[in-house]
Amino acid sequence: NWYRSKKKAFTKYAKQHANGAKPVLRELERIKKYCSVVRVIAHTQVRKLKIGQKKAHVMEIQLNGGSVADKVKFAYEHFEKTVDINSVLEQDEMIDVIAVTKGHGFEGVHRTEVNKKIYRIGKGEDKSNAKTEYDLTEKAITPLGGFPHYGIVNEDYVMIKGCCAGTKKRVVTLRKSLLVHTKRSALENVQLKFIDTSSKFGHGRFQTREEREQFQGTLKKDL
């Protein structure tokens, strides 16, 4: 284990950065000269979630489009930077959802669900990110009591059509659709009229905490 080892892990790699960025730039030039496929390693910011997990999810993503030099330049410009979801996906777009579901007997796990339409991409800093053009109530996307077995959504969120593969707290990969969509249902512009934020535990009927307090009045616990 690490306690009994000589603790030599990453020591050679750390020496490359001791003299600045010269070794890194030299490796990038070798990639431009000899490589035909460029992939980057990305990880999630799992510390932003309150799910009891510390280790981030790591994924290798291939870069497509342009020359090899353009790919290396794009990857180098985004080193150790956050990639916002609005720079990748947009509303009314068709995407594929990749996750691992539960197996139920002879009906085993499956991985991919294709052609999911994005209904909304909400901003985390917007405190009324569940408000629509028809429903002007100041409310957030988190329902009363939080999402079951998940909690409160404080970051940006993506609302898609239908069910989403995977269990609670499981990582989900969103991929751009591999097809050129021509159906009218795929090309239509979505106009949300109402987002239900009532409690998902039992039969919730109140959309906001203020609405519930106004209906129930002053309770004994409030005195």
The structure's pTM equals 0.84
Q: Which class is domain 11-77?
A: alpha beta
Segment 139-156 mean pLDDT = 93
pLDDT tens, residue by residue, 81-112: 999 999 999 999 999 999 999 888 998 898 88
Tell whether the model's pLDDT for residue 19 goes beyond 80: no
Helix (H) or strand (E) holding 13: helix 11-16
Distance CA(69)–CA(71), nearest Å, equals 5
User: How remote is the C-alpha of 196 from its chain's centroid?
Assistant: 21
Question: In the chain, where are the structural domains located?
Answer: 11-77
Label residue 22 by pLDDT band (50, 70, 90).
confident
